[in-house]
Amino acid sequence: MMASMAGMLWLRRLMIVATILALGFTVHYMYQHGFRNRWLGGLNILSAVISIGFVYYSLDSFGW
């Protein structure tokens, strides 16, 4: 099983980079357009926290 997972290392790295890019875009958009709707702002903040947690867990558990 580990031999096949080593072949998928590029996919894990791609997902980490995509998550960071999406997080950056979301934060930039929220600051640029303001917090018009508190419900959506809270949902975006929750999503950002989960994304940061995913990246941290992935890097801590598996490394780059």
Q: Which amino acid is at 38?
A: R
SS3 string of 23-51? HHHHHHHHHHHCCCCHHHHHHHHHHHHHH
More confident residue, 2 or 32: 32
Q: Please tell me the predicted confidence (pLDDT) of residue 27.
A: 85
Q: pLDDT band at residue 2, thresholds of 50, 70 and 90?
A: low
Q: pLDDT band at residue 3, thresholds of 50, 70 and 90?
A: low
pLDDT above 80 (res 6): no
Could you read off the pLDDT of 11-44 as tens digits, one per residue? 889 999 999 999 999 888 888 877 778 888 888 8
